[in-house]
Structure 1
Amino acid sequence: MTAKDENAAAIPAKGKYAALVMCWILGNGSLLSWNSMLTIEDYYGYLFPRYHPSRVLTLVYQPFALGTIALLTYYEARLNTRRRNLGGYTLFFISSLLVIVLDLATSGKGGIGTYVGICAISGAFGIADAHVQGGMLGDLSLMRPEFIQSFMAGLAASGALTSALRFITKAAFENSKNGLRKGAILFFSICSTFELACVLLYAFVFPKLEIVKYYRSKAASEGSKTVSADLAAGGVLQDTAADSENPKDFQRFSNKQLLIQNIDYAIDLYLIYVLTLSIFPGFLYEDTGSHSLGSWYGLVLVASYNVSDLIGRYTPLIKMVKITSRYFLTIACLSRFLLIPAFYFTAKYGDQGWMIMLTSILGLTNGHLTVCILTEAPKGYKGPEQNALGNLLCCCLLAGIFSGVTLDWLWLIGKGW
């Protein structure tokens, strides 16, 4: 038996599939609140027709997310990952409840005061997102690539689920008085319940899985200090977490060194989300014209993106189509920019079928390339470096999103306000 086989045999199989399911659920909870806000943009568009909510809410969300993730990434090695993730999920839960409270307190009326309140909640979602996405990606990067794939699929599933639920609520309440409002309240009632479930799962179930304890113990033996609280929650003593290797034997790369070594992955992630968020959701909601689907058109486009993004995050499981070459990953990311003129001319001259097809391609490539990069990049490092690299890549991802939602405003040039 080779050393590699011995190492593989030492990894406990117990809890692997439970961990995959929980990663999917926790990934879903990482974006469910924000996707719910995006999916009810037609309601906010009705309440605040002059304020471009489909663009402004995203633009408010991103500086908070990017600023927070940059700070957390800088101090990553000294942070308590358990406290960070629980804090993020708890903030998602509280903010989701506040959306309902604000709507009930204002009786579903618009106005600048209500709009400022919605924007403030959007900023809180950004802070929570930075805590959870960076914390979870860093934590899962020191485990197995399958866990990252499942978590990222959960992120996309939140969009697909909210789109499906939005179709149901729109159909159910379309002809009733205050139908949009009833659908929005139902949305966030479900959302807040799900976020509370994520808090409980991460706090009491996930750290006790054998395979999770194994990888966290391994990371602790390699000098990681971020997993201590989670190991304690899983009933693992720090003395027993270390194996025969001395943490002092490991020379940790600095964040700057890790970024330089993986600069192509970082730029690729940035480029993926610059393109995606320069089109989704603002352009799809406001700049694709009127078609036979009427008020359903924007919802259909968003659903097309969300479903194809979810599919794209599972396609890397097929070895034949997974891109592992760093060179070809970069080529693929750059090639996506051909979608910009394609969307422009389709919005101007094409019909809704072509736009739905383009939106599906946008989502499919977004999901596929994201998972390919995040599952390939952390390989070959020790636990502390894998955690740090996961945080760095998440920071680049959010930087791309921020740049994308800013560039999205360029579609308004020449159209007036």
Structure 2
Amino acid sequence: MGFSMSPGRDEEVAGGGAAAVSLLTPNPQDGTTAAAATATARITARAAVAAALYPPPPKEGAFIAYVIYFVLGAGYLLPWNAFITAVDYFAYLYPAAPVDRVFSVAYMVTNFIFLLVVLGVSSKSSAPARINAGLGIFVVTLLVVPVMDAAWVKGEREIYAAYVVTVGTVVLAGVADAMVQSGVIGEAGELPERYMQATIAGTAASGVLVSAMRIITKSMFPQDADGLRKSANLYFIVGIVVMIICLICYNFVERLPVVQYHKNLKIQALKEENSEQGLESVSAWSSLIRNIVRRIKWLGFANSLIYIVTLSIFPGYITEDVHSKALKDWYPIMLIAGYNVFDLVGKCLTAVYLLENAKIAVVSCVLRLLFYPLFVGCLHGPMFFRSEIPVTVLTCLLGLTNGYLTSVLMILAPKLVAIQHAETAGILMVIFLAVGLAGGSLVSWFWVI
């Protein structure tokens, strides 16, 4: 496995001037001495020009940008979480339909297809336009369910025309996810590492928020039809509010000096590349994609493997296969909350310590396969291993490793390419992640621990 890590972009831009040139040229990957000398010569030749073009990055708005990227990360997963958390209510309304499985297939298949579409058009389209359009679609999809419930369904069962509409909104949400997630991850990849860390941590915060809402609604509302209806509507209303906040925040963060600085770096790099290579053709774009895939393929493989392992265990095994006489139906809820909290902790840990060795990161992802025999032991092993404590500890470790390694991979991958291609690398990593989500879902369907 041939890995090479470019220096962190935080360090690259810290000195401005000559350091900024390293943003425009990727480091040689496992290259010869001659290739390294050529790259060094190119950097040196551009240093004088870059000193004038690229002053040190502004610090104004850096913390605000960090917070907003955290909010955006939480936001783009919230619509899916709203649909899947309200699945009890949908299962009550449509008892003859396998709601949870249909939702998963409809969302993930659509999301994957449109991620490929976004990859194909990313060089010809604007990421801000895709993100704004996707957030707008999210608002519409989240509005459909409570409006339809108030005006048409009204808690009545077996109105399967409404079920078709609901599945249609899930499909639309999958389209919106592809537009927003790829855009936000792509743009975060063009910025210093801490902004990708904020985005990925935000995705975990979305899970924590949903778990908190699930616990609150279970405590507040009776677990009958009316209680399930109120809970579902609450999930969607909260989702709508968060999407509107995301729309406002995203259009604000685009104007912050720290973000504009790095966007200008990308624009200059693209102009320079186009002046050297000419206008981009379809064959040139395909060649570029292949080159980026070669650079990040092992990180992408590891990203897929993380979610194959995680989703083949969580939440299916957690909610269906383990039981507690003491905690009863609170047990799976508490396990899911524990997973989500430790997933957030893992994704925040990269702000404290970032594992920069790509080989170790990939090997660590492979070692997560050990969770399979460990969780099997919780079902069929010694009696002490079947109790609540081992299951809880393993579930929290599953979340912690999922969070930390996901954050590491998503931070490292865009730094393996030049800044003008960081967005594309980010989109490709999201596609690898989607492959892992689909693979994990399939394994959880056809193979039960």
Say whether 1:323 aligns with 2:355: yes
1:353 CA displacement: 3.0
Q: 1:41 to 1:282 in 2, by over 3 A?
A: farther
Shift of the 119–187 alpha-carbon distance from structure 1 to 2, 3 Å rule, reads: same
Q: 1:193 aligned to 2:241?
A: yes
Give, as a single letter, the amino acid of the residue that structure 2 aligns with 1:341. Answer: P
Distance 1:179-1:28 versus aligned 2 partners, 3 A rule: same
1:36 aligns with 2:104: no
Q: Which one-letter code corresponds to 1:324 in the other structure?
A: E
For structure 2, the residue ranges without an aligned partner over 5 or more in a row are 1-11, 20-54, 279-283
Structure 1 partner of 2:204: 156
Q: Specify the alignment match of 1:389 in structure 2.
A: 425
Q: Identity of paired residues, percent?
A: 30
Corresponding residue to 2:412 among 376, 379, 387: 376
Task: Report 1:303-318 matches (<5 A).
Answer: 303-318=337-352
* Cross-structure match for 2:390: 354
Q: Measure, in 2, the Cα distance between the counterparts of 1:406 and 1:75.
A: 29
In the alignment, which residue of structure 2 is the partner of 1:288? 322
| Match in the other structure for 2:265 | 218
C-alpha contact (below 8 Å) 1:25/1:154 kept by paired residues = yes
Q: Deviations over 1:186-225 (max 9, x none)?
A: 121111111112112223x11110111111111111117x
Q: Determine the structure 2 residue equivalent to 1:277.
A: 311
- Pick closer, same or farther for the CA change 1:343–1:46 going to 2, 3 Å: farther
SS in 2 for 1:223: helix
In 1: Cα distance, 2:92 partner to 2:295 partner? 48
Aligned with 2:415: secondary structure?
coil
Report the CA distance between 1:47 and its aligned residue: 4.1
Matches within 5 A, 1:249-268: 249=276, 254-268=288-302
SS at match of 1:294: coil
**Structure 1 residue 290: Cα displacement:** 5.7
For 2:362, give the aligned amino acid.
Answer: T
User: How many angstroms apart in 1 are the aligned matches of 2:302 and 2:109?
Assistant: 20
Instruction: Give the equivalent residue in structure 2 for 1:5.
Output: 15
Question: CA 1:4–1:208 in structure 2 vs 1: closer, same or farther (change >3 Å)?
Answer: closer
The residue identity in structure 2 corresponding to 1:220 is I
Name the CA distance, whole Å, in 2 between partners of 1:353 and 1:181: 33
- 1:72 matched to 2:118: yes
CA distance in 2 between partners of 1:34 and 1:404 (Å): 17
- How far apart are 1:348 and its partner, in Å? 4.8
Kept in 1, the 8 Å contact 2:299–2:358? The answer is: yes
Q: If you compute each CA radius of gyration, which structure gives the higher value, 1 or 2? A: 2
The one-letter amino acid paired with 2:356 is: T
Q: Would you say how many aligned residue pairs link Structure 1 and Structure 2?
A: 389
- Tell me the distance in 2 between the aligned counterparts of 1:170 and 1:317: 34
Q: Which residue identity is paired with 1:133? A: Q
Would you say the 8 A contact 1:173–1:179 is kept in 2?
yes
Work out whether residues 85 and 135 of structure 1, in 8 Å CA contact, stay in contact via their aligned partners in 2. yes
- The question of whether the paired residues in 2 share the 8 Å contact of 1:309 and 1:367 is answered with yes
Name the SS of the counterpart of 1:385 in structure 2.
helix
Q: Which 10-residue stretch deviates more, 269-278 or 403-412?
A: 403-412
> 1:335: how far off?
0.9
Q: Are the equivalent residues in 1 in contact too, given 2:346–2:400 (CA < 8 A)?
A: yes
CA distance in 2, matches of 1:39, 1:297: 16
- When residues 188 and 4 of structure 1 are mapped into structure 2, their CA distance, relative to the original with a 3 A threshold, is closer
Cα deviation digits, residues 34-66 of structure 1 (max 9, x gap): 112233334344445554433332222100110
- TM-score when scaled to structure 2? 0.81
Gaps of 5+ in 1: 225-244
Which amino acid in the other structure matches residue 227 of structure 2?
Answer: G
TM-score scaled by structure 1? 0.86
Q: CA deviation at 1:385?
A: 1.1
Letter in 1 for 2:263: R
* Equivalence for 1:128: 176
Deviates more, 1:116-125 or 1:322-331: 116-125
Query: Once superposed, what is the RMSD of the aligned Cα atoms?
Result: 2.4
